[in-house]
Amino acid sequence: MLRGFATVNLFADDLAAARDWYTELLGVQPYFEVPGPDGRPAYVEFRVGDYQHELGIVRGAFGPHGPGAGAAGPSGVVLYWAVDDVAATLERLFELGAKEHQGVVDRGGNGFVTASVVDPFGNVLGIMTNPHYMEVLGARG
């Protein structure tokens, strides 16, 4: 059911500043950027490490917690597991007692679909279909 880590998402209200900071830290430019409706960055993604893991940064207003959520509720990292079928995996997680955190979201019609739950212990667990994950998996043979 859970194939492997797909993407780790961080959240930042000033995404442009976060993008620049992580570019400096990681020593690489983001390889993927999505503008928001206002033209400012809404999402940036880096490939890092030996297995080209994805580190995404989401503008806070587009995250599941909304802008400035750090002081008002859960915040921080959501680790997304790659799955073959988001709906079926979500159903199974609900059967096991997880509660919805963010419902199914199609991230632009390009094969990226996410959802997240809160497990019975209070942890946020993300799931997603992710074409980039499948590309890396395919390249490994």
Give burial (CB, 10 Å; 0-12/13-18/19+) of 129: buried
In a domain, 70, yes or no: no
Q: Number of structural domains, the chain?
A: 2
* Dihedral sign, Cα of residue 123, residue 80, residue 39, residue 37: negative
In a domain, 14, yes or no: yes
53 and 86 share a domain? no
* Structural domain span for residue 25: 1-65
81 and 61 inside one domain: no
> Is 43 in the same domain as 6?
yes
**Residue after which a domain boundary falls, among 12, 39, 65:** 65
Q: What is the pLDDT of residues 15-27, one digit of tens each?
A: 999 999 889 988 9
Q: Do 50 and 82 fall within a single domain? A: no
Is a pLDDT exceeding 80 seen at residue 38?
Answer: yes
CA distance 91 to 103: 11
Q: Which residues pair with 47 in a beta bridge?
A: 54
User: Cα separation of 34 and 107, whole Å?
Assistant: 10
Please indicate, yes or no, if residue 95 is contained in any of the structural domains: yes
Query: Concatenated DSSP letters for 33-93?
Result: EEE-TTSSEEEEEEEETTTTEEEEEEEGGGSTT-TTHHHHS--S-EEEEE-S-HHHHHHHH
> Cα separation of 51 and 100, whole Å?
30
Q: List phi, psi (to 5°) of 41.
A: -60, 135
Same domain? For 97 and 135 the reply is: yes
Q: Are residues 57 and 85 in the same domain?
A: no
- The CATH number of residue 91's host domain is 3.10.180.10
Residue 28 DSSP symbol: S
Same domain, 59 and 81: no
Question: Which of 17, 35, 65 is the C-terminal boundary of a domain?
Answer: 65
Write down the pTM of the prediction: 0.65
* Domain co-membership, 83 together with 118: yes
Residue 125 included in any domain: yes
- Which tens digits make up the pLDDT trace of 78-110? 889 889 999 999 999 999 899 999 999 998 888
